[in-house]
């Protein structure tokens, strides 16, 4: 369960901005200034410090010179697809046309470069494969490419194993110790590759033209949840700036469809609107749909792709809702509710079960493991914690039940042999009982400051904008609002799925909301007229062109 602690007071300052910076590890004036005002020109690193970058650059320049066919092979998620758009746009800008993009089908091909994909690309005449956001572990597929005379350049950011694939180059910030920043996302690595190509090649591009592609690097950096510090802060901050000016017709139409003002896009819009629609393509259908939506310059094609993605996202929501309804019915029919809920259906797509697992874990207050079958017949699933039990500890305890498993305390993924499915519920529940308190984890959440509702004004909002964008490594400031008395506690939304508290203050009223929560989902249930403490983020919303300052509730406690 989360344990909340108020951050230590600084003895030498009452300045809230300095407190927030200090809590995030920026303690000296120089560090604070650099964080608040990242410099695009001086806060990026030399791309040739990356492992094998010289080799990768030389091989690509040779392929361009000789007119060899290049295939960009990217992952199907919110990092791989934007990264693929960046390299696609680069080749188009330098007028190199003998290339194509290949994105594996999530349901039928799975993650990474496969021997089957290599064989298809060999038949198509490919001479050079450049991977994006995958490939570091794909030894067999790269060896198969060599048999066909195909060279492979891997650009990736995943953890390397002891043995690297026999590629021409493996460009990965986590390999070796020459690159100063290890936490780039896949699209960030591709952008570094383009920096290197521009430095070594002789292309007739206007100086700085490549900055237009930062929109996709920014989307990937935010969506892939890499730490938003160091070079990633540069990519996220400048990426969002470019995103707000981006000329992509697909992006324009997607934002209009969702009633978002492009000029005011934030990291939350990337996380809650752009990201889910990019991911919907691979979860529901062909990831090429999301790629083409972002890459095309044709208004008509862009409109069609946006409509298709919106339909897929709606279908995804419908399937998840139907799945959750079926699951609740099955749980309600149980004579006794187990400590760990384990359910599945061969007809379910593994890519969709995570959201239902989250819903059930919250409603029934226990860990939930759900599974489905992928297009190759493999049983795969997702698990979610109820907020107390570590699902990774549970899985590690019965590790021989799984083909693969991984994740962290709150959520994880797994694949399992079909013959193990029948014993999995019993084994996980036995592990839960045997582990006892050892299965529990304590998460300490630091509250940045206690504020009054009347302290929420222009000065605070300016400070928050200076610290943004927020994400991993730069968490949104969390404030405690003590002794607030709700004038209203209500549900809102199409199906009344979100909770809202109306809080009076000196001159007006402020709304505090939580999406997909009910009043009884918090540590303490808020009631009209009863003093409470609200832990919340302060945010600005421009939904439907209506400017609103509000609280996003994290938890409600008995009045402190």
pLDDT (tens digit per residue) in 333-357: 999 999 999 999 999 999 899 989 9
Q: In this structure, is residue 228 part of a structural domain?
A: no
- 3-class SS of residue 473: coil
Could you tell me which of 418, 472, 486, 410 has the C-alpha nearest to residue 441?
410
**Residue 442 pLDDT exceeds 80:** no
CA 294 to chain centre: 18
Among residues 441, 476, 498, the one where a domain terminates is 441
Residue with tokens 């002891």: 162
- 3-class SS of residue 6: strand
Q: Which two tokens stand for residue 250?
A: 């697909």
**Residue 508 sits in the same domain as residue 424:** no
CB-hemisphere CA count at 13 Å for 294?
A: 29
Q: In this structure, is residue 296 part of a structural domain?
A: no
**Residue 4 pLDDT exceeds 90:** no
3-state helix, strand and coil shares in percent for the chain, rounded to the nearest 5:
45, 20, 35
**Residue 204 sits in the same domain as residue 58:** yes
Q: What is the pLDDT of residues 36-64, one digit of tens each?
A: 999 999 999 999 999 999 999 999 999 99
Residue with tokens 């439907």: 544
Q: How far apart are CA 420 and CA 381, in angstroms?
A: 13
C-alpha distances out from residue 385 to 185, 329, 363, 497, 520, Å: 26, 20, 11, 21, 18
Q: In this structure, is residue 419 part of a structural domain?
A: yes
Q: How far apart are CA 428 and CA 397, in angstroms?
A: 8
CA 394 to chain centre: 24
Q: Is 279 exposed, middle or buried (0-12, 13-18, 19+ CB in 10 A)?
A: buried
Contacts of 285 (CB under 8 A, 6+ apart): 312
Q: In this structure, is residue 286 part of a structural domain?
A: no
Query: Can you tell me the mean pLDDT for 521-530?
Result: 93
Could you tell me which of 403, 382, 385, 405 has the C-alpha nearest to residue 395?
405
Q: What percent of the chain has pLDDT over 70?
A: 99
Among residues 208, 233, 266, the one where a domain terminates is 208
| CB-based contact 427:398 (threshold 8 Å) | yes
pTM of the model: 0.90
Q: In this structure, is residue 246 part of a structural domain?
A: no
Query: Can you tell me the mean pLDDT for 490-511?
Result: 92
Contacts of 420 (CB under 8 A, 6+ apart): 401, 402
Residue with tokens 């730490």: 227
Q: What is the pLDDT of residues 173-219, one digit of tens each?
A: 999 999 999 999 999 999 999 999 999 999 989 999 999 999 999 99
**Residue 126 sits in the same domain as residue 185:** yes
Total count of domains within the chain: 3
**Residue 10 pLDDT exceeds 80:** no
**Residue 351 sits in the same domain as residue 435:** yes
Q: How far apart are CA 559 and CA 401, in angstroms?
A: 45
**Residue 21 pLDDT exceeds 60:** yes
Contacts of 135 (CB under 8 A, 6+ apart): 73, 112, 113, 141, 142, 152, 154, 155, 156, 165, 167, 170
pLDDT band at 229 (very low <50, low <70, confident <90, very high): very high
Question: How high is the mean pLDDT of the chain?
Answer: 94
Query: Can you tell me the mean pLDDT for 505-530?
Result: 92
Q: How far apart are CA 1 and CA 456, in angstroms?
A: 29
Could you tell me which of 69, 73, 97 has the C-alpha nearest to residue 84?
73
Q: In this structure, is residue 309 part of a structural domain?
A: no
Q: In this structure, is residue 501 part of a structural domain?
A: yes
pLDDT band at 13 (very low <50, low <70, confident <90, very high): low
pLDDT of residue 205: 93
CA 95 to chain centre: 32
C-alpha distances out from residue 25 to 20, 28, 434, Å: 9, 9, 39
Bigger pLDDT: 387 or 473? Answer: 473
Bigger pLDDT: 516 or 91? Answer: 91
- 3-class SS of residue 170: strand
| CB-based contact 443:1 (threshold 8 Å) | yes
Query: Can you tell me the mean pLDDT for 425-429?
Result: 97
**Residue 54 sits in the same domain as residue 195:** yes
**Residue 404 pLDDT exceeds 60:** yes
**Residue 397 sits in the same domain as residue 368:** yes
Among residues 389, 421, 441, the one where a domain terminates is 441
**Residue 184 sits in the same domain as residue 148:** yes
**Residue 452 sits in the same domain as residue 529:** yes
Q: Is 371 exposed, middle or buried (0-12, 13-18, 19+ CB in 10 A)?
A: buried
**Residue 1 pLDDT exceeds 70:** no
Q: What is the pLDDT of residues 95-146, one digit of tens each?
A: 999 999 999 998 888 889 999 999 999 999 999 999 999 999 999 999 999 9
**Residue 341 sits in the same domain as residue 370:** yes
Strand runs labelled E in 107-235:
128-132, 151-155, 169-171
Per-position DSSP letters for 420-457, written without gaps between them: GTTTHHHHHHHHHHHHGGGGB--EEEEE-EE--GGG-S
Q: How far apart are CA 105 and CA 269, in angstroms?
A: 26
Could you tell me which of 139, 295, 131 has the C-alpha nearest to residue 213?
295
CATH code of 414's domain: 3.10.310.30
Terminal-to-terminal C-alpha distance of the chain = 18
CATH code of 165's domain: 3.90.1640.30
| CB-based contact 144:117 (threshold 8 Å) | no
pLDDT of residue 12: 60
Domain coverage including residue 425:
334-441
Q: How far apart are CA 537 and CA 186, in angstroms?
A: 29
**Alpha helix stretches (DSSP H) within 436-544:** 458-467
Q: How far apart are CA 332 and CA 327, in angstroms?
A: 8
pLDDT band at 155 (very low <50, low <70, confident <90, very high): very high
pLDDT of residue 280: 87
Strand runs labelled E in 301-452:
341-344, 368-373, 379-384, 402-407, 411-416, 443-447, 449-450
Residue 550, H or E segment = strand 548-558
Q: How far apart are CA 251 and CA 397, in angstroms?
A: 45
**Residue 194 sits in the same domain as residue 102:** yes
| CB-based contact 443:409 (threshold 8 Å) | yes
Query: Can you tell me the mean pLDDT for 274-295?
Result: 91
pLDDT band at 518 (very low <50, low <70, confident <90, very high): confident
Q: In this structure, is residue 234 part of a structural domain?
A: no
**Residue 88 sits in the same domain as residue 154:** yes
Per-position DSSP letters for 218-269, written without gaps between them: HHHHHHTT---SHHHHHHHHHHHHHHTT---HHHHHHHHHTT--GGG--HHH
CATH code of 459's domain: 2.40.50.460
Strand runs labelled E in 62-117:
70-74, 99-102
**Residue 560 pLDDT exceeds 80:** no
**Residue 92 sits in the same domain as residue 184:** yes
pLDDT band at 282 (very low <50, low <70, confident <90, very high): confident
- 3-class SS of residue 314: helix
Of 70-79, 96-105, 106-115, 158-167, the poorest mean pLDDT is in 106-115
């Amino acid at each position: 369960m989360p344990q909340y602690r108020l951050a230590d007071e600084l003895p030498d300052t009452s300045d809230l901005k300095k407190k927030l910076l200090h809590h995030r590890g920026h303690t000296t004036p120089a560090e604070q200034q650099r964080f608040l005002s990242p410099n695009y020109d001086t806060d990026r690193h030399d791309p040739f410090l990356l492992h094998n970058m010289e080799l990768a650059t030389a091989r690509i320049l040779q392929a361009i010179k000789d007119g060899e066919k290049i295939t960009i092979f990217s992952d199907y998620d919110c990092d791989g697809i934007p990264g693929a758009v960046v390299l696609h746009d680069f080749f188009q800008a330098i007028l190199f046309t003998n290339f194509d993009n290949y994105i594996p089908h999530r349901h039928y091909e799975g993650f990474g470069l496969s021997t089957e994909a290599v064989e298809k690309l060999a038949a198509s005449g490919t001479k050079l494969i450049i991977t994006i956001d995958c490939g570091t572990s794909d030894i067999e597929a790269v060896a198969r490419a060599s048999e066909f005379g195909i060279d492979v350049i891997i650009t990736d950011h995943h953890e390397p194993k002891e043995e690297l694939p026999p590629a021409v180059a493996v460009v990965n910030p986590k390999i070796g110790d020459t690159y100063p920043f290890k936490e780039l996302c896949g699209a960030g690595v591709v952008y570094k590759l383009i920096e290197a190509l521009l430095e070594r090649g002789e292309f007739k591009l206007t100086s700085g033209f490549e900055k237009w592609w930062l929109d996709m690097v920014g989307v990937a950096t935010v969506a892939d949840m890499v730490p938003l510090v160091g070079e990633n802060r540069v990519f996220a901050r400048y990426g969002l700036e470019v995103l707000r000016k981006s000329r992509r017709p697909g992006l324009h139409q997607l934002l209009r469809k969702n009633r978002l003002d492009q000029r005011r896009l934030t990291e939350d819009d990337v996380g809650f609107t752009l990201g889910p629609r990019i991911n919907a393509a691979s979860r529901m259908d062909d990831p090429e749909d999301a790629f083409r939506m972002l890459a095309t310059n044709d208004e008509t094609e862009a409109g069609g792709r946006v409509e298709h993605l919106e339909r897929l996202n709606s279908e995804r929501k419908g399937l998840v809702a139907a799945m959750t309804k079926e699951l609740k019915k099955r749980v309600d029919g149980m004579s006794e509710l187990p400590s760990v809920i384990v359910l599945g259906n061969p007809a379910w797509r593994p890519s969709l079960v995570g959201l239902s697992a989250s819903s059930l874990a919250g409603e029934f207050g226990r860990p939930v493991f759900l599974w489905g079958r992928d297009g190759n017949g493999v049983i795969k699933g997702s698990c979610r914690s109820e907020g107390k039990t570590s699902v990774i500890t549970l899985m590690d305890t019965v590790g021989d039940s799984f083909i693969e498993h991984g994740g962290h305390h709150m959520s994880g993924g797994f694949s399992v042999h079909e013959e193990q499915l029948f014993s999995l519920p019993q084994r996980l529940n036995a592990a839960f009982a045997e582990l006892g308190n050892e299965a529990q984890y304590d998460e300490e959440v630091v509250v940045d400051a206690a504020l009054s509702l009347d302290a929420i004004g222009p000065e605070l909002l300016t400070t928050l904008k200076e610290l943004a964008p927020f994400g991993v490594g730069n968490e949104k400031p969390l404030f405690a609002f003590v002794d607030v008395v709700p004038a209203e506690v209500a549900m809102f939304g199409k199906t009344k799925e979100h909770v809202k508290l109306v809080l009076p203050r000196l001159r007006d009223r402020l709304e505090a909301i939580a999406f997909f929560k009910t009043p009884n989902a918090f540590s303490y249930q808020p009631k009209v007229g009863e003093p409470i403490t609200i832990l919340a983020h302060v945010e600005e919303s421009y939904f439907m062109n209506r400017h609103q300052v509000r609280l996003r509730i994290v938890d409600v406690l008995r009045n402190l």
